[in-house]
Amino acid sequence: MTELASMRKAYGQALVELGKVNPDVVVLSADVSNSDHSYMFEEAFPDRFVNVGIAEQCLVDVAVGLAYSGKIPFANTFAFLFATRALEMVRTHLCYGKANVKLMGAYAGISDSFDGPTHHAITDVAIMRSLPNMTIVIPGDPVALEKLLPQVADWPGPVFFRLNRNEVPVLFDDSYAPRIGEAITLRPGNDVTLIGTGLMVGRCLEAAEALSGEGIDARVLEVHTIKPLDVDSVLGAARETGALVTAEEHSVIGGLGGAVAEAVSDACPVPIKRVGIADEFAETGPYFEILDRYGMSVEHILVAARQAVAARQGR
């Protein structure tokens, strides 16, 4: 059994560490700091923490004012709220006005499972990805989070950092060295590439292991930066393996699958199967069970991989 570790705790700790080394970092919350664990920063740096109350549009605009004054604001609320309620602020000031605000999208995907579809974020990546100048980063585990957060602070311009609420499998050790904008090949393979992001990276690795028993040699490519997409790595996978599967905790519309399909259809069309939630809302329930029921199980990746390989061979 893979070790599980809390993404929220890792986030709170990483934020405090960042605060220690970068005095320009300030943290804002729309009154959910005990949910996302940004309260840990508040305890460490009370003078650099702003709680605007349950007011997500105000949250983003106040962060914009701080950013235009030279601070590096980390704004915290649930991922779906940034992508929906506060979206105009994000578009006008972060993307058009180039405010250097970092959006910490908590409880992303299905991870706030028991709070139900009102709290799930399954369209946030598609929405954010459509905005010019936006960068989208999704850490796959607590190690990735810890390594990527300081890079988010240093990255020039707005970032949507998509965070899982729960204890998740630990995939990486200290040798993991992600760079924003660069996909990582976690497992070599020649028959098909499983392109995963976030929690689904672990499921891609499991699927690759199972596929090897079937004689399918699957590559696993981790795309932690959805935008700007590492097009070279994706096209390399398309050329070298001839078939792609994308796997994400998100709608099959417009997220990682959409980004990969756009890149590949332009330059190197190959069969692509997209694993994610269909164009529907999920329901309340245990996290991993919802993922399995709504199209994001290891089995779903296996089926998609077999279909992609068959489609390639059938051409």
Partner 1 sequence: MHYHSEELIRDISAQAQAFRIQVLKMIYSAQTGHLGGAFSAAEIVASLYFHHLRLDPTRPDWPGRDRLLFSKGHACAMLYTAMAHRGFFPVDELTTFRQLDSRLQGHPDRVKLPGIEICAGPLGHGVAIGVGMALAQKMAGRKPSSFSAPSARATAARVYVVLGDGEINAGVIWEGAMAAAKYRLGNLTAILDYNGVQQTGATADVMPTEPIADRWRAFGWHVQEIHGHNVAEILEALDRADEVHAQPSVVIARTTKGKGVSFMEYDHRWHGMPPTREQYEQALAELEEGLGK
What Å distances lie between residue 107 and 118, 268, 273, CA to CA?
12, 35, 26
- Annotation marks residue 56 as catalytic: yes
57 touching partner 1, by CB under 8 A: yes
Binding segment for partner 1 among 58-66, 147-155, 263-271, 304-312 (CB under 8 A)? Answer: 58-66
Tell which one of 97, 117, 157, 181 touches partner 1 (CB under 8 A).
Answer: 97
128 touching partner 1, by CB under 8 A: no
Tell which one of 37, 71, 129, 162 touches partner 1 (CB under 8 A).
Answer: 71
Q: Which is nearer to partner 1, 48 or 165 (CB)?
A: 48
18 touching partner 1, by CB under 8 A: no
Name residue, tokens 């970032």: 159
In the three-class reduction of DSSP (H, G, I as helix; E, B as strand; rest coil), residue 104 is classed as strand
89 touching partner 1, by CB under 8 A: yes
Q: How many residues does the chain have?
A: 315
214: Cβ–Cβ under 8 A, 6 or more apart, which residues? 306
Give least dist CB 220 to partner 1, A: 39
Q: Which is nearer to partner 1, 96 or 114 (CB)?
A: 96
Secondary-structure breakdown of the chain: helix, strand, coil percentages, each rounded to the nearest 5: 45, 20, 35
84 touching partner 1, by CB under 8 A: no
Peptide bond into 228 cis (omega under 30): yes
What Å distances lie between residue 50 and 39, 43, 103, 161, CA to CA?
11, 12, 14, 19
The contact set with partner 1 (CB under 8 A) reads 26, 47-48, 50, 52-53, 55, 57-58, 61-71, 73, 88-89, 92-93, 96-98
Residues with catalytic function: 56
